[in-house]
Amino acid sequence: MEPTRSDHVSEAELAKLGLSRETELRLDSAGRFFNGAQPIEHPGGCAAFARWVARTDSGRYALRNDLHYVYLTVEGAPLHAARVEGQPPGLPQLLLSGGEREPLRVESLRRDPEGVLYAAGRDGSWTVRLSPQAALDLAPWLAEREGEVVCEVDGVAWPIPEREQPL
Protein backbone atom coordinates (compact mmCIF):
# COMPACT_ATOMS: atom_id res chain seq x y z
CA MET A 1 0.00 0.00 0.00
CA GLU A 2 1.20 3.50 -0.79
CA PRO A 3 2.64 5.42 2.17
CA THR A 4 0.61 8.27 3.61
CA ARG A 5 2.03 11.74 4.10
CA SER A 6 2.21 11.10 7.84
CA ASP A 7 3.86 7.65 7.84
CA HIS A 8 7.19 9.22 8.79
CA VAL A 9 5.65 10.78 11.93
CA SER A 10 6.29 8.59 14.97
CA GLU A 11 3.80 7.92 17.74
CA ALA A 12 6.02 9.98 20.06
CA GLU A 13 5.98 12.94 17.67
CA LEU A 14 2.21 12.71 17.37
CA ALA A 15 1.89 12.62 21.17
CA LYS A 16 3.95 15.84 21.44
CA LEU A 17 1.30 17.45 19.23
CA GLY A 18 -1.51 16.04 21.36
CA LEU A 19 -2.43 13.57 18.61
CA SER A 20 -2.60 9.80 18.36
CA ARG A 21 -3.39 7.10 15.86
CA GLU A 22 -5.41 5.34 18.58
CA THR A 23 -9.17 5.90 18.22
CA GLU A 24 -12.49 4.53 19.41
CA LEU A 25 -13.46 3.76 15.81
CA ARG A 26 -14.93 0.31 15.41
CA LEU A 27 -16.28 -1.85 12.59
CA ASP A 28 -18.80 -4.33 13.97
CA SER A 29 -19.44 -7.84 12.67
CA ALA A 30 -22.39 -6.63 10.56
CA GLY A 31 -20.27 -4.01 8.77
CA ARG A 32 -21.44 -0.92 10.70
CA PHE A 33 -18.97 1.75 11.81
CA PHE A 34 -19.05 3.31 15.26
CA ASN A 35 -17.13 6.00 17.10
CA GLY A 36 -17.26 4.59 20.62
CA ALA A 37 -20.94 3.72 21.17
CA GLN A 38 -22.15 6.25 18.58
CA PRO A 39 -23.05 4.77 15.17
CA ILE A 40 -21.63 6.52 12.14
CA GLU A 41 -24.55 6.79 9.75
CA HIS A 42 -23.52 9.14 6.95
CA PRO A 43 -23.55 6.96 3.80
CA GLY A 44 -20.61 8.73 2.15
CA GLY A 45 -18.54 8.61 5.33
CA CYS A 46 -19.26 4.92 5.83
CA ALA A 47 -18.40 4.14 2.20
CA ALA A 48 -15.11 6.04 2.51
CA PHE A 49 -14.25 4.26 5.76
CA ALA A 50 -15.03 0.88 4.10
CA ARG A 51 -12.63 1.72 1.23
CA TRP A 52 -9.95 2.87 3.68
CA VAL A 53 -9.80 -0.31 5.79
CA ALA A 54 -6.19 -1.47 5.64
CA ARG A 55 -3.71 -3.55 7.60
CA THR A 56 -0.55 -2.03 8.97
CA ASP A 57 2.78 -3.84 8.78
CA SER A 58 2.19 -4.96 12.37
CA GLY A 59 -1.14 -6.55 11.35
CA ARG A 60 -3.41 -4.01 13.05
CA TYR A 61 -6.39 -2.70 11.18
CA ALA A 62 -6.47 0.98 10.31
CA LEU A 63 -8.42 3.49 8.29
CA ARG A 64 -5.83 4.70 5.80
CA ASN A 65 -6.14 7.43 3.17
CA ASP A 66 -3.59 9.51 1.26
CA LEU A 67 -2.95 11.82 4.21
CA HIS A 68 -2.97 9.77 7.38
CA TYR A 69 -4.05 6.59 9.10
CA VAL A 70 -5.68 5.81 12.42
CA TYR A 71 -6.24 2.49 14.14
CA LEU A 72 -9.59 0.76 13.97
CA THR A 73 -11.05 -2.13 15.94
CA VAL A 74 -12.58 -4.78 13.67
CA GLU A 75 -15.11 -7.17 15.19
CA GLY A 76 -15.46 -9.89 12.58
CA ALA A 77 -14.65 -9.58 8.90
CA PRO A 78 -12.83 -6.43 7.75
CA LEU A 79 -14.64 -6.36 4.39
CA HIS A 80 -18.36 -6.59 3.70
CA ALA A 81 -20.21 -7.34 0.47
CA ALA A 82 -23.43 -5.35 0.14
CA ARG A 83 -24.54 -7.05 -3.08
CA VAL A 84 -23.60 -9.74 -5.59
CA GLU A 85 -23.89 -8.86 -9.26
CA GLY A 86 -23.84 -10.82 -12.49
CA GLN A 87 -25.80 -13.62 -14.09
CA PRO A 88 -25.30 -17.37 -13.99
CA PRO A 89 -23.48 -19.27 -15.27
CA GLY A 90 -20.78 -16.56 -15.18
CA LEU A 91 -18.64 -15.57 -12.23
CA PRO A 92 -20.49 -13.50 -9.59
CA GLN A 93 -19.04 -10.10 -8.69
CA LEU A 94 -19.00 -8.80 -5.12
CA LEU A 95 -20.02 -5.19 -4.61
CA LEU A 96 -18.23 -4.23 -1.41
CA SER A 97 -19.72 -1.72 1.01
CA GLY A 98 -17.13 0.88 -0.05
CA GLY A 99 -18.27 0.64 -3.68
CA GLU A 100 -15.40 -1.52 -4.96
CA ARG A 101 -16.18 -4.50 -7.16
CA GLU A 102 -14.23 -7.71 -7.24
CA PRO A 103 -14.83 -11.22 -8.54
CA LEU A 104 -16.10 -13.74 -6.01
CA ARG A 105 -13.42 -16.28 -5.17
CA VAL A 106 -15.89 -19.16 -5.36
CA GLU A 107 -13.40 -21.69 -4.02
CA SER A 108 -13.11 -19.67 -0.79
CA LEU A 109 -16.84 -19.58 0.02
CA ARG A 110 -17.73 -20.88 3.46
CA ARG A 111 -20.56 -20.46 5.94
CA ASP A 112 -20.69 -20.15 9.69
CA PRO A 113 -23.04 -22.29 11.83
CA GLU A 114 -25.77 -19.61 11.46
CA GLY A 115 -25.51 -19.76 7.66
CA VAL A 116 -23.70 -16.42 7.14
CA LEU A 117 -21.53 -16.59 4.02
CA TYR A 118 -17.88 -15.53 3.86
CA ALA A 119 -15.28 -15.49 1.09
CA ALA A 120 -11.72 -14.34 0.50
CA GLY A 121 -11.21 -10.82 -0.81
CA ARG A 122 -8.62 -8.37 -2.10
CA ASP A 123 -5.36 -10.35 -2.43
CA GLY A 124 -7.02 -13.50 -1.01
CA SER A 125 -5.81 -12.94 2.56
CA TRP A 126 -8.79 -10.76 3.55
CA THR A 127 -12.19 -12.02 4.73
CA VAL A 128 -15.38 -10.68 3.17
CA ARG A 129 -18.71 -11.19 4.96
CA LEU A 130 -21.69 -11.32 2.61
CA SER A 131 -24.67 -9.28 3.80
CA PRO A 132 -28.09 -10.97 3.86
CA GLN A 133 -28.87 -9.11 0.61
CA ALA A 134 -25.64 -10.32 -1.00
CA ALA A 135 -26.47 -13.90 0.05
CA LEU A 136 -29.91 -13.54 -1.57
CA ASP A 137 -28.28 -12.13 -4.70
CA LEU A 138 -26.06 -15.23 -4.84
CA ALA A 139 -29.11 -17.56 -4.83
CA PRO A 140 -29.18 -18.09 -8.65
CA TRP A 141 -25.74 -19.73 -8.39
CA LEU A 142 -26.63 -21.93 -5.40
CA ALA A 143 -27.84 -25.51 -5.58
CA GLU A 144 -27.92 -28.66 -3.51
CA ARG A 145 -25.90 -31.64 -4.68
CA GLU A 146 -25.92 -34.88 -2.71
CA GLY A 147 -27.13 -33.06 0.41
CA GLU A 148 -24.43 -30.40 0.14
CA VAL A 149 -24.86 -26.70 -0.70
CA VAL A 150 -22.77 -25.72 -3.70
CA CYS A 151 -22.13 -22.62 -5.78
CA GLU A 152 -22.25 -23.41 -9.52
CA VAL A 153 -20.13 -21.22 -11.77
CA ASP A 154 -19.48 -22.03 -15.43
CA GLY A 155 -20.52 -25.65 -14.94
CA VAL A 156 -18.33 -26.26 -11.88
CA ALA A 157 -20.00 -26.95 -8.52
CA TRP A 158 -18.02 -25.55 -5.58
CA PRO A 159 -19.02 -26.85 -2.14
CA ILE A 160 -19.72 -24.28 0.58
CA PRO A 161 -18.46 -25.91 3.76
CA GLU A 162 -19.57 -24.94 7.24
CA ARG A 163 -16.77 -23.57 9.41
CA GLU A 164 -17.02 -23.01 13.14
CA GLN A 165 -14.57 -20.09 12.74
CA PRO A 166 -15.06 -18.72 9.20
CA LEU A 167 -12.80 -15.72 9.68
The string of pLDDT tens digits covering residues 42-87 is: 999 999 999 999 999 889 999 999 888 999 999 999 999 999 999 9
Q: Is pLDDT above 90 for 5?
A: no
What per-residue confidence (pLDDT) applies to 17? 86
Say what percent of the chain tops pLDDT 70: 99
d(CA 23, CA 30): 20
Strand partners of residue 153 = 156
Strand partners of residue 102 = 94
Give mean pLDDT, residues 35-44.
96
Give mean pLDDT, residues 105-110.
98
Q: Is pLDDT above 70 for 1?
A: no
What per-residue confidence (pLDDT) applies to 10? 84
CA–chain centroid gap for 163, Å, is 18
- The more confidently predicted of residues 120 and 2 is 120
Using an 8 Å Cβ cutoff, are 89 and 153 in contact? yes
d(CA 165, CA 167): 6
Global confidence as pTM: 0.91
CB-neighbour burial class of residue 9 (10 A; exposed 0-12, middle 13-18, buried 19+): middle
Closest among 97, 81, 75, 88 to 24, alpha carbons compared: 75
Residues with Cβ within 8 Å of 27's Cβ and at least 6 positions away in sequence, in order, are 33, 34, 49, 53, 61, 72, 73, 74, 75, 76, 78
Say what percent of the chain tops pLDDT 90: 83
Domain spanning 11-74: CATH 1.10.10.10: no
